[in-house]
Structure 1
Amino acid sequence: MREWTGQFWFLPAVMTITALFLAWAGIQVEERHGIPAGLDWVYSGGESGARSLLSAVASSAIGVAGTVFSITIAALSYAAGSMGPRLLDNFTRDRGNQAVLGTFIATFAFTLFSLRSVQGGDDRPFVPHYNVTLAMLLALACVAALVYFLAHVTRGINMTAVINLLRDDLRRALERATDDRTEAVHPAAPPEAFWTAGEQLRSPDSGYLQLLDTEALTAAATRDGVALLILVRPGEYVFPNTPVAVGVPRLPGGVLPALVLGPRRVAGQDLEFTVRQLAEVAARALSPGVNDPVTATDVIDRFGDALCRLQGRTWPSGVVYRDHQLRLVYPVTTYGGLLDSMFHMIRQYGSASPAVTLRLLDVLRIVAQGEQDATRHAELDRHATLIMEDARRETKNPGDLKDLEDRYRTLRQGIRRHGEAPGA
């Protein structure tokens, strides 16, 4: 349901239907009860004036909407070249943009419906005075919506605004994907040899794994008294006729319906997709055609923010027991995999930029200072080493290289002081 209500057309459609109902109700009320005395603010003109006013409002509303949104889409398409496709997706799902479009379309539909009820002549003349009055108010609402829309879109295509939106998405995704460490339970997974004699399930179709229904899979395995291993993770592309699951001693029923495939990656269970959207912004900023290291460092700061929020939280093990019996094992994103998604692309594209490399090392140092987990320190140390290896090869200026070596040395010393990472 949320996927439907978030579509660009949903709110405008609801507003248009509401406008049509109001137009019909206004006509019915006036035909039955007329205009009470004392309502001086209600339109009091004749048939000719009503036709002209309603026609002007209808043509203006749809004309302005078409022109403004056409120009806006062109500007957004140009801006998406440097910010990524997330900008367009955010524009279509933004409730403010939907409300503006709905205001214009609802005004157009309301005035057209009202216009058809205007009748002249001597037989049965009728002018919908309530509706003409409301049409004038809707015209003023369209003007206000236009002013709001221009200011809103201008803020929306700002690079910092886009990065902050992606940061908020990443925060929510990490909160869904991790647990509070004091409450987390990590049952052990069986060795790989346990699954060698199992029955394989191959995918009959292809696409990105958008949803893995672990509750349904656990219920199916419990019902049939088997253990089930899922081989693919949300966000991975599933090729046809490739193994996606293994059941021991046999496969339970209902596995394929719990693996939802689609033509594109989506947020939700696919944590790395949210991370890669931010990393893509940094990679585009570091391309030779854009050359914007400031944006890349902004993205690195947001990644540091996310990693600091992970301190004290832990990843699910992906192992599910029911009544002390193994029922399901499924792949999950690890801390190391998260770091790979965050920093590999930025490191590769930004290795020749000392400003980017320095900020990468600074952020890793700050994250390491607050992190207490030994395995996470080892992953941070691994990425710091990769960054310095590329920097030594690409950095030409001796002064820049000295700064990088100093930052790297400080980072390694901080990790070693915790006694949780291998020495240099």
Structure 2
Amino acid sequence: MNRLLFRLRELSVQFWFIPAVMTVLALVLAELGVKLEETYGVPKWLTFVYGGGETGARSLLGAIAASSIGVAGTVFSITIAALSYAAGSMGPRLLGNFTSDRGNQLTLGTFISTFAFSLYTLRAVQGGDPPFVPHYNTTAALVFGLACVGMLVYYLAHITGSISMTRVVNSLRNDMRQALLNATEQQDQGPPGAAAPPDNFWDGGEELHAPSSGYLQLLDTELLLKKAGQDHVALRLLVRPGDYVFPNSLIAVGVPRLPKGVMDALTLGDTRTTGQDLEYSVRQLSEVAARALSPGVNDPVTAIDVIDRFGDALCSLQDRRWPDGIFYRDKQLRLVMPVTDFEGLLARMFDMIRQYGAGSPSVTIRLLEVLTVTASCLHDEQRRAVIRRHADMVREDALRVTENSGDRADIEQRYSTLRQLLLGREEVLRR
């Protein structure tokens, strides 16, 4: 069921999905309008309904159909131009954020459904004696035409804002923060601090090799726990959501044997997706910063914006409990799986920025400042040690390539502030 819901969700965000649904609904509505008028006619007290004749209805419906499909082509062209700009300046992996945007889909759907509605109604207009004019549908076509005008104005404003770098960064920040909050809320079923079994525990277990390849998009943990509990076995996964699974590679070990239907809980696909893949949104933001720091773009302000959003997400997490990937049921070990931890998360956030931004003092200084603020939000000693290690690497890389004495002094001052904060927190904990 989880796999089916996942596939439906992935289908619903496709660029064509909303326009297709709106077009089908428009055709159904057009048919209902024609049938309604053929059965009951038009009451005289409905004065707002179109009251023209056959020729006027044909001209009106033809004009609405022609103009709506023409403007739809213009809207599509603007969308392609926006996608080309996004791919060049922000990275091709962000194209999905634009094609899945509901505002873009609704705008295109409005124009296409209006065209389909008008064209279907036009075929119902008949001459003869007496002629048949679908007054309800013609009136609705007028309303849809006005809606197209409103949607065009909305779209021009929406597409202009959607390619703003700040809005894109904020949107990615929201996705990343929500994914991290959801992950840290997940609690395993074992006792707090449950230790993983020794590596030799899995020696001699039955192995599972991947029958196909692709990114692990969805991992149904509950289904795995259910299957392992039913077969009274322990299962160790070697892959996590976001990992690329190679064909015939070892992905799981079961002791004393594998439970049945392990692959039913693993959904593979050609692309990475948000949700369980905690590092995907982080990598998208990191890529924006890395492109901004490239010599061809040279936009440290965008990189600083990304660093600020990373600090926002880390301070939102604060000292939440991270899943350890060890699951018990009825006091029996049932599942062990790799998970993203705090150290790995910081590496994905800051490694590329540190490597590409070492020669930009403004980026390095802001990175140390954000690490300082993040350290002030945390109380866990191990996580502060991770921050200290990243600060050491940032300082080392920056001082190696920074020649200006003033910039070097600023970097040393920010690093000293962070170190004093960490040392002061350690003194408080010792007391």
Q: Give yes or no for TM over 0.5.
A: yes
Residue 111 (1) aligns with residue 89 (2):
no
Give the structure 2 partner of residue 187 of structure 1.
194
Could you tell me whether the CA contact under 8 Å between 1:350 and 1:356 is conserved in 2? yes
TM-score, L = length of structure 2: 0.93
- Structure 1 residues 235-261: Cα deviation after superposition (integer angstroms, max 9, x where no partner): 111112221111222222222222222
- Structure 1 residues 36-86: Cα deviation after superposition (integer angstroms, max 9, x where no partner): 224333222222221111111101000110122113212321233112235
Which 10-residue stretch deviates more, 30-39 or 51-60? 30-39
**How far apart are residue 16 of structure 1 and its match?**
1.7
Match of 2:283 among 255, 276, 283: 276
**How far apart are residue 403 of structure 1 and its match?**
0.7
Give the structure 2 partner of residue 92 of structure 1.
99
- Structure 1 residues 2-35: Cα deviation after superposition (integer angstroms, max 9, x where no partner): 2232222222222222222222222222223333
Give the structure 1 partner of residue 232 of structure 2.
225
SS of 2:426 mapped into structure 1 = coil
Which 10-residue stretch deviates more, 185-194 or 262-271? 185-194
Match for 2:367: what amino acid? Answer: L
**How far apart are residue 346 of structure 1 and its match?**
0.6
SS of 1:204 mapped into structure 2 = coil
Give the structure 2 partner of residue 59 of structure 1.
66
Give the structure 2 partner of residue 14 of structure 1.
21
**How far apart are residue 231 of structure 1 and its match?**
0.9
Match for 1:388: what amino acid? Answer: R
Match for 1:233: what amino acid? Answer: R
Residue 145 (1) aligns with residue 151 (2):
yes
CA distance in 1, matches of 2:331, 2:354: 44
Match of 2:42 among 22, 35, 46: 35
Give the structure 2 partner of residue 171 of structure 1.
177
Could you tell me whether the CA contact under 8 Å between 2:215 and 2:268 is conserved in 1? yes
CA-based RMSD = 1.9
Give the structure 2 partner of residue 125 of structure 1.
131
Match of 2:141 among 128, 135, 138: 135
CA distance in 2, matches of 1:188, 1:179: 20
CA distance in 2, matches of 1:411, 1:386: 13
**How far apart are residue 125 of structure 1 and its match?**
1.5
Residue 295 (1) aligns with residue 302 (2):
yes
The verdict on how the C-alpha distance between 1:51 and 1:340 changes in structure 2, with shifts beyond 3 A counting, is same
CA distance in 1, matches of 2:410, 2:371: 15
TM-score, L = length of structure 1: 0.94
Aligned ranges 1:302-381 → 2 under 5 Å: 302-381=309-388
Match of 1:162 among 164, 168, 187: 168
Report the number of matched residues. 419
Could you tell me whether the CA contact under 8 Å between 2:291 and 2:297 is conserved in 1? yes
Could you tell me whether the CA contact under 8 Å between 1:43 and 1:133 is conserved in 2? yes
**How far apart are residue 87 of structure 1 and its match?**
4.1
SS of 1:326 mapped into structure 2 = strand
CA distance in 1, matches of 2:206, 2:30: 63
Match for 2:176: what amino acid? Answer: L
**How far apart are residue 180 of structure 1 and its match?**
8.4
Match of 1:400 among 400, 407, 411: 407
Match for 2:294: what amino acid? Answer: S
Unaligned runs of 5+ in 2: 1-7
- Structure 1 residues 79-136: Cα deviation after superposition (integer angstroms, max 9, x where no partner): 33112235422222222222111111111111111111111234x4111122222211
- Structure 1 residues 186-222: Cα deviation after superposition (integer angstroms, max 9, x where no partner): 3111111222232222212221111222212222222
Unaligned runs of 5+ in 1: none
Could you tell me whether the CA contact under 8 Å between 1:381 and 1:412 is conserved in 2? yes
- Structure 1 residues 155-193: Cα deviation after superposition (integer angstroms, max 9, x where no partner): 111101000100100111011110389x99331111112
Could you tell me whether the CA contact under 8 Å between 2:94 and 2:284 is conserved in 1? no
SS of 1:178 mapped into structure 2 = helix
Could you tell me whether the CA contact under 8 Å between 1:282 and 1:346 is conserved in 2? yes
